[in-house]
């Protein structure tokens, strides 16, 4: 099955010039959703993953499934002000401005192996900030998984050097 066939490209969303990769068309079909989950589970099943962390909101669609199938706990990474207890926080650069994400301080035990999931790798800023949160909390990032990796001029992988990265579909970014 070619998972790329199930991803919808939406030009000029949310702003002009962005080619938005819509994964709702992949996860609404059982066969493609199952295939994407199974491929990620198979890659990480013998790696001793104790926690899966995912970034809201699309990250949660796969993140919970991965945690369940890998026999791991699930940890929510959220936008500021959404988590009720004490949090670690990371601020990172966007093309215009900055963004912040948070995770509960007690979400991960010292030394636990953690899998980070997000639906898409673009510049790598979100994933790098997520790795920093996991490491602040004492976790060890055993892998980073994406459904889609945008390749070419964004150089997302460079920002994540040293980590084990898997992406199911690689899509080149046009200049
Ligand atoms: P980045 O931090 O640049 O790697 O961006 C990754 C985050 O932004 C992910 O959570 C994606 O869901 C979202 N994102 C960035 N670019 C796109 C795109 N072209 N299509 C869909 N989502 C995107």
How far does the centroid of ligand 1 lie from the alpha carbon of residue 133, in Å? 18
Alpha-carbon gap, residue 123 to 145, rounded angstroms:
15
- 55 pocket-lining for ligand 1 (C-beta < 6 Å): yes
- The residue whose C-alpha atom lies closest to atom 3 belonging to ligand 1 is 123
Domains detected in the chain: 48-173 (3.40.50.2020)
Tell me the three state secondary structure of residue 87.
strand
Residue 94 reports pLDDT greater than 70: yes
Kindly give the interhelix angle for 30-44 and 58-70, rounded to the nearest 10 degrees. 50
Share of the chain above pLDDT 70, in %: 99
Phi and psi of 142, rounded to 5°? -90, -15
DSSP 3-state of 172: strand
Q: What is the pLDDT of residue 95?
A: 72
pLDDT tens for 4-58 read 999 999 999 999 999 999 999 999 999 999 999 999 999 999 999 999 999 999 9
Q: Is 56 a catalytic residue?
A: no
Q: At residue 96, does pLDDT exceed 90?
A: no
**In a 3-state reduction of DSSP, which class is residue 67?**
helix
Q: Is residue 63 within 6 Å of ligand 1 at its C-beta? A: no
Q: Is the CB–ligand 1 distance for residue 13 below 6 Å?
A: no
How high does pLDDT run on average in the chain? 96
Q: Which of 95, 161, 174, 175 is the catalytic position?
A: 95
Is 175 a residue whose pLDDT tops 70?
Answer: no
- Distance from C-alpha of 155 to C-alpha of 148, rounded to nearest angstrom: 14
Q: How far is CA 140 from CA 1, 25, 58, in A?
A: 33, 33, 23
Pairing between β-strand 51-55 and β-strand 73-77 as defined by DSSP bridges: parallel
Cβ of 120 less than 6 Å from ligand 1? yes
Contact 80, 102 (CB under 8 A): yes
Q: Are 152 and 173 in contact (CB under 8 A)?
A: yes
Ligand 1 and 102: CB distance under 6 A: no
- Residue 103 pLDDT grade (very low, low, confident, very high; cuts 50, 70, 90): very high
- Strand, helix or coil at 159? helix
Threshold 0.95, pTM exceeds: yes
Choosing from 126, 152, 170, 172 the residue with most ligand 1 atoms within 8 A of its CB, the one to mutate for a pocket test is 126
Task: Provide the 8-state DSSP code for 112.
Answer: -
């Amino acid at each position: 099955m070619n998972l790329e066939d199930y991803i919808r490209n939406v030009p000029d969303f949310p702003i002009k010039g962005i080619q938005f990769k819509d994964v709702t068309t992949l996860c609404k079909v059982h066969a493609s959703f199952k295939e994407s989950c199974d491929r990620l589970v198979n890659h990480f099943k013998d790696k001793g993953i104790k926690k899966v962390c995912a970034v809201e909101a699309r990250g949660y669609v796969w993140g919970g499934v991965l945690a369940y199938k890998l026999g791991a706990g699930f940890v929510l990474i959220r936008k500021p002000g959404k988590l009720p207890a004490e949090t670690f926080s990371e601020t990172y650069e966007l093309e215009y401005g900055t963004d912040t994400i948070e995770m509960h301080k007690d979400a991960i035990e010292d030394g636990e192996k953690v899998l980070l999931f997000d639906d898409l790798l673009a510049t790598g800023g979100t994933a790098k900030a997520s790795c920093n949160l996991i490491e602040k909390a004492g976790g060890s990032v055993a892998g980073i998984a994406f459904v889609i990796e945008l390749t070419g001029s964004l150089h997302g992988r460079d920002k994540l050097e040293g980590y084990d990265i898997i992406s199911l579909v690689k899509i080149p970014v046009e200049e």
